Amino acid sequence: MTAPTKDPAEIYRRSFAIIRAEADLARFDGGAEAVVVRMIHACGMVDLADDIRVSPEFPGAAQAALARGAPVICDVEMVRHGIIPRLMPAGNEVLCLLNDPRVRDIASRDATTRSAAQVDLWAERMEGAVIAIGNAPTALFRLLELLDQGAAKPAAIIGVPVGFVGAVESKAELAASSRGVEFLTVAGRRGGSALASSAVNALAGGLEGHG
């Protein structure tokens, strides 16, 4: 059996056309719609659109941050590696501090996960940044705690941790109160690194060539 086409551009075009035909995207404006389409493309589930929650100014705030060179801070290496460097409009740094040698001591001291502990190290880089959390609910909870404690606000939060323990609750908390930060999340258990990185790529892709 042969593939219908081997042209990458045509595959993308047809994929996005199918997504737009099958998914209910009516409630998303142009910027948000582009992000949602990319996220659906990353997971193959058109009904994901029903669970996406996005604040009105999220696309513009995130793209403006990327355009001025803000870093993208990720909770896991899978998210970091899923972000396409050539799309970064200003050569933006994409970082994950999970393996920073300081993290284990913080986790031990606070009796928490390494994913949550690394968030304490984000504070010095967080102002105006784009945060992409795709794996760890504890990281999202800790981020919200830091914001409650007066930490500098990022420009935008992509909070889509996946899982069965804490994922639903952390994302519901973000949607209920994003602490004044523009956000995107996925209600329920679904989420993951591919969704987080695809959202960043969609935002950055709209700026390609304008850095």
Which residues are annotated as catalytic?
Answer: 41
Helix (H) or strand (E) holding 104: helix 103-110
Question: Contact, 167 vs 128, CB < 8 A?
Answer: no
Cα gap 210→138, rounded to integer Å: 35
Cα gap 5→122, rounded to integer Å: 44
Please give the structure tokens belonging to residue 102. 């300081």
Cα gap 123→146, rounded to integer Å: 8
Query: What is the dihedral sign for C-alpha 16, 19, 25, 28?
Result: negative
Q: Which distant-in-sequence residues (6+ apart) come within 8 Å of 126 by Cβ?
A: 73, 146, 151, 152, 153, 154
Q: What is the DSSP string of 61-83?
A: HHHHHHHTT--EEESSHHHHHHS
Q: Which residue has the tokens 């500098």?
A: 152
Would you give the DSSP letter of residue 135?
S
